[in-house]
Chain A
Amino acid sequence: AQKVTQAQTEISVVEKEDVTLDCVYETRDTTYYLFWYKQPPSGELVFLIRRNSFDEQNEISGRYSWNFQKSTSSFNFTITASQVVDSAVYFCALMMGTSGSRLTFGEGTQLTVNP
């Protein structure tokens, strides 16, 4: 069975602070895919990144960076110099390599960036 855990239910920071959102996953598959989605107050789900299990290279995209560590089954997301527009719920998700393309989501982390 697969599972995604986002232990941080809510995080509140002040603008320009760096913030890291944690994601821990469980799977028995050797091939799997990890995702991050953003859900702003308007409600839509916005795709941010996909990472393959065989590629542990970290990735940076502007103020966003992701740290993938298979040894600890973690796929953490860091926002550098946070902005008010980053306020949203962030979901980590897992797609197994053997069970089709369904996404298993974590519970989400509500990030509030205060001015």
Chain B
Amino acid sequence: DSGVTQTPKHLITATGQRVTLRCSPRSGDLSVYWYQQSLDQGLQFLIQYYNGEERAKGNILERFSAQQFPDLHSELNLSSLELGDSALYFCASSGLGRGAAYNEQFFGPGTRLTVL
């Protein structure tokens, strides 16, 4: 158990809909990352937040957005869903900011999104 929690575990929805994925980082971790794992794109970095502020952005679609709240949990919002958005979405956290600049990232169990 990495200490990172993600809900829900599975999500099935229809094209055009909007969903929210939730992540709680390990206790004390200030940095949260979102990754997408799909069959055609592999594991891709989407976005990173550090203590509530956006820190880095990857290949995240404009239809996707994220935020990190004062209690450090994060949400990834996916809207106008398409079939190609079906994937496993991972959240990870690290102790960046606690004195170790490039700590390893610990991953949550993922949310499997299926768009029908």
Residues of A at the B interface (CB closer than 8 Å) are 33, 35, 37, 43-47, 50, 91, 95, 97, 99-105, 107-108
Q: A91-B43, A107-B42 are in contact. Are A47 and B106 (CB under 8 A)?
A: yes
Name the 5 nearest CB pairs between A and B, nearest first. Answer: A45-B107, A105-B43, A100-B56, A102-B45, A44-B109
Which A residues are in CB contact (< 8 Å) with B102? 33, 50, 95, 97, 101
- Assess the A43–B56 pair: CB atoms within 8 A: no
- Assess the A101–B43 pair: CB atoms within 8 A: no
Which residue in chain B gives the minimum CB-CB distance to A107? B42
Report the contact-size class of chain B (Cβ under 8 Å from the partner): 20 to 34
- Assess the B109–A47 pair: CB atoms within 8 A: no
Q: A35-B104, A101-B105, A102-B56 are in contact. Are A43 and B88 (CB under 8 A)?
A: yes
- Assess the A105–B33 pair: CB atoms within 8 A: no
- Assess the B2–A105 pair: CB atoms within 8 A: no
Q: Is B58 an interface residue when CB atoms closer than 8 A count as contact? A: yes
- 28 contacts across the A-B interface (CB closer than 8 A): A33-B102, A37-B107, A43-B112, A44-B2, A44-B107, A44-B108, A45-B90, A45-B107, A45-B110, A46-B2, A46-B107, A47-B2, A47-B104, A47-B106, A50-B102, A91-B43, A100-B48, A101-B31, A101-B33, A101-B55, A101-B102, A102-B45, A102-B48, A102-B56, A103-B35, A104-B45, A105-B42, A105-B44
Interface of B is mostly: strand
- Assess the B110–A43 pair: CB atoms within 8 A: yes
A37 to B105, CA, bound (A): 10
- Assess the B109–A103 pair: CB atoms within 8 A: no
Which A residues are in CB contact (< 8 Å) with B105? 47, 101, 103
Which A residues are in CB contact (< 8 Å) with B43? 91, 103, 105, 108
- Assess the B58–A101 pair: CB atoms within 8 A: no
- Assess the A108–B48 pair: CB atoms within 8 A: no
Q: Is B115 an interface residue when CB atoms closer than 8 A count as contact? A: no
Which A residues are in CB contact (< 8 Å) with B74? none
CB distance from A106 to the nearest CB of B (A): 8
Q: Is B19 an interface residue when CB atoms closer than 8 A count as contact? A: no
Q: Is B113 an interface residue when CB atoms closer than 8 A count as contact? A: no
